[in-house]
Structure 1
Amino acid sequence: MIKYPVLNENAVIGVTAPSSGLPDFMHHYLVDIKKRFQNTNEIVIGQSVMTQHKAKSTDSIMRAEELNDFFTADRIDLIIPPFGGELALEILNKIDYDRLQPKWVLGYSDISTVLLAITFKTGIATAHGTNLVDLRGKYSDDTTAMWLEVLKTKVNEEVTQYSSQQFQSKWNHNQPTECVFNLDTPTEWKSVDQEAVKIEGRLLGGCIDVISHLIGTPYGDVKTFREQYIKDEPVIWYLENCEANPAEFRRMLLQMQYAGWFDNCSGILFGRTRVTESTEDYSIQDVYDDTAQDLNIPIIYDIDCGHMPPQITFINGAYGIVECREGKGKIKQMFI
């Protein structure tokens, strides 16, 4: 059975940086974050958050120890890293999986490496969604704001989210809005066959650029995870491509397929991607088409997931029912 953390009112939020920390010029973000949460949540800032050197917040031992400490400290109720980065993979062999208490960890990008490894190794549900620095505004857009309601969902309850009205087509860090994002483009969920789609199964996923590196390691043992926690239930994979060109993207998906990650897969959800260039006329759309043909499953793409916000909060391990019709999307997650 999947272990769902319980989040109570006025939860204490622990901020640690398993991947990248905040360089000096970003330290003022913490002032905004504390102001945003001052009436609802205490914020505990880990030492790793305040530094950034050589593509990581600090050395892997300190990053792992701080994450382990936050997981086992009774004082901390919820863990939200500041954002992603590059080298979260370095700490996976230093996490004390046997001692982890069920607590929500929320994030995306490189953080999805840690999220998926924890769920695979322990059966503890983890949350793929907004990072902390994107919660520093005066308010959040309707899609982002759902993170709290999702994490407050209790065992045997369900929560429903809907596709956004607009998304952010490019980052403009120097001109954040009151909700941080510059939402400028209408959202449209699409299916490969251009028909209405409804799929269901256990949700698993993250940023394919980084989670693909779990394949063949003890932290990406999908077969054992299935046997121990979800038995013969189908899986819906949600994946987003941050930087890979179409050929690289296709290779990663094929590796997942050959490693058995897509066995008993009921469908794949692909987040919006910033990648627009083709590889010798081979496009991102070709990747979606070829994958759908290879696996003979429904594929929905341009969903609210990844590096083009806002983001739906996906729970690794939850049972999901996903619908896409006429450009709109709906996802129901059941904590069963």
Structure 2
Amino acid sequence: MITYPTLIKKRKVAVTAPSAGVERELHHLLHKAVERLQSKGYEVMIGETCWTQYKAKSAQASVRAEELNSLLQDDTVNLIFPPWGGELLIEILEFIDFEKVIPKWILGYSDISVLLLALTLKTGIATAHGTNLIDLRGKFSDPTTAMWENVLFTKSGQEVKQYSSERYQQIWNHHQEIDIVFYLTEQTNWKTIYNNPFLIKGRLLGGCIDVIRHLIGTPYGNVTYFQQQFIENEPIIWYLENCQMTVVDLRRSLMQMKYAGWFDNCHGILFGRSEANQPVNDYNVVDVYMELAEELNLPIAYDIDCGHMPPQITFVNGAYAEVEVSNGKGKVTQRFI
């Protein structure tokens, strides 16, 4: 069985940086994001790791893990909300005491997805892949991003529906202060192989493929154990997004997932938008998707609301989902069962 945490307003939100901290010149962004949470009625505590960044990490692995462990084991903490992703979260996994985790939501994406996926695979505790805290610093959130609260307030046994965005952002600008953080200028269009509409059902797993691929073959990436122990071998829907890889690196990573059995009993794959996916010798990302669809005999959707070209739907690792894609639009229903 999957264990679903429940978000409760006026309970404690803990901000910690298990990957990258916030550079001094950007501290004002974190202050503003925390103020927005507080204005909603949340009590917020900020860990020391959030304020430092040196040599591609907020602190040494043991320091980051110690702060995270204290929050994972604190029954007054209702949500752990990192400021953003980074590069080297994988360093802390060996120091995390998974057996002592008290269920609570963890929300984030990018490098944070390493922690999210590892925790769900090892413990069966649901985790939430969605907005970073820094991206909530504006006075307003777009409708897609704002759904993070609705999703996390969903109780065990209930369901929550989310829909594809109207527009998405191409270019980041952390230095300009605006009421709405994202520049949503481009028309959203969820696509499928051969433009065929589909409906797929299964348990959600996924994250940033650049980093979660490194869990393969480790104690933190045992998908078979998760399937047998927590979901009684129900089918899986993978959602994946590419941050920095060329198409050939993406292809290699997907083949590794295939060889490792991560696509066994899979009912479909969802790929997020990406400004990476650079072609190599006319080999492009749609070629990759088509080859994978043919090899695995699976429906594949791409350019969905997930990843580094926001906004993004909040996907819950472990949740039962029904995903519909038709005429460029998407609908994701998640049931906490």
TM-score after normalising by structure 1: 0.98
Give the equivalent residue in structure 1 for 2:23.
Answer: 23
Give the equivalent residue in structure 2 for 1:7.
Answer: 7
After the TM superposition, which segments of 4 or more aligned residues of structure 1 sit over 3 Å from their partners? none
Whether 2:184 is the aligned partner of 1:167: answer: no
Give the equivalent residue in structure 1 for 2:331.
Answer: 330
- State the identity %: 57
C-alpha distance in structure 2 between counterparts of 1:194 and 1:74, whole Å: 47
C-alpha distance in structure 2 between counterparts of 1:258 and 1:277, whole Å: 24
SS across alignment from 2:30:
helix
Deviations 1:7-59 (A, max 9, x none): 11223110000000001011111221232123311110001001000000000
C-alpha distance in structure 1 between counterparts of 2:178 and 2:239, whole Å: 28
* Corresponding pairs, count: 336
SS across alignment from 1:184:
strand
Alignment of structure 1 residues 166-315 onto 2, 5 Å: 166-315=167-316
- What is the identity, as a one-letter code, of the residue corresponding to 1:189? W
- What is the identity, as a one-letter code, of the residue corresponding to 1:22? V
Deviations 1:81-134 (A, max 9, x none): 000000000001110000001000000000000000000110000000000000
SS across alignment from 2:77:
coil
Query: How far off its partner does 1:243 sit?
Result: 0.6
Alignment of structure 1 residues 6-85 onto 2, 5 Å: 6-39=6-39, 40-85=41-86
C-alpha distance in structure 1 between counterparts of 2:50 and 2:64, whole Å: 9
Give the equivalent residue in structure 2 for 1:127.
Answer: 128
Alignment of structure 1 residues 76-95 onto 2, 5 Å: 76-95=77-96
State whether residues 168 and 183 of structure 1, in contact with CA within 8 Å, keep that contact through their aligned partners in structure 2: yes
C-alpha distance in structure 2 between counterparts of 1:195 and 1:226, whole Å: 29
**Superposition RMSD in Å:** 0.9
State whether residues 176 and 182 of structure 1, in contact with CA within 8 Å, keep that contact through their aligned partners in structure 2: no
SS across alignment from 2:135:
helix
C-alpha distance in structure 1 between counterparts of 2:75 and 2:196, whole Å: 49
Give the equivalent residue in structure 1 for 2:108.
Answer: 107
Deviation larger for 287-296 or 203-212: 287-296
SS across alignment from 1:188:
coil
- What is the identity, as a one-letter code, of the residue corresponding to 2:318? G
State whether residues 12 and 44 of structure 1, in contact with CA within 8 Å, keep that contact through their aligned partners in structure 2: yes
C-alpha distance in structure 1 between counterparts of 2:278 and 2:259, whole Å: 26
SS across alignment from 1:55:
coil
- What is the identity, as a one-letter code, of the residue corresponding to 1:70? L
Deviations 1:252-291 (A, max 9, x none): 0000000000000000000001125211111011111111
Deviations 1:188-242 (A, max 9, x none): 0000120111100000000000000000000000111111001121000000000
Change (3 A) 1:112 1:276: closer
State whether residues 30 and 83 of structure 2, in contact with CA within 8 Å, keep that contact through their aligned partners in structure 1: no
State whether residues 306 and 312 of structure 2, in contact with CA within 8 Å, keep that contact through their aligned partners in structure 1: yes
- What is the identity, as a one-letter code, of the residue corresponding to 2:56? A
- What is the identity, as a one-letter code, of the residue corresponding to 2:302? Y
Query: How far off its partner does 1:174 sit?
Result: 2.6
Query: How far off its partner does 1:172 sit?
Result: 2.2
Deviation larger for 264-273 or 277-286: 277-286
Query: How far off its partner does 1:173 sit?
Result: 2.3
C-alpha distance in structure 2 between counterparts of 1:196 and 1:89, whole Å: 37
- What is the identity, as a one-letter code, of the residue corresponding to 1:66? E
C-alpha distance in structure 1 between counterparts of 2:242 and 2:30, whole Å: 28
Query: How far off its partner does 1:171 sit?
Result: 1.1
SS across alignment from 1:203:
strand
Structure 1 unaligned regions, length at least 5 = none
Deviations 1:150-206 (A, max 9, x none): 001001100000000000012122335312111110100000120111100000000
C-alpha distance in structure 2 between counterparts of 1:177 and 1:324, whole Å: 32
State whether residues 20 and 86 of structure 1, in contact with CA within 8 Å, keep that contact through their aligned partners in structure 2: yes
Structure 2 unaligned regions, length at least 5 = none
Deviations 1:136-161 (A, max 9, x none): 11011000000001001001100000
State whether residues 201 and 236 of structure 1, in contact with CA within 8 Å, keep that contact through their aligned partners in structure 2: yes
C-alpha distance in structure 1 between counterparts of 2:178 and 2:327, whole Å: 29
State whether residues 162 and 331 of structure 2, in contact with CA within 8 Å, keep that contact through their aligned partners in structure 1: yes
C-alpha distance in structure 2 between counterparts of 1:276 and 1:294, whole Å: 20
SS across alignment from 1:311:
coil
TM-score after normalising by structure 2: 0.98
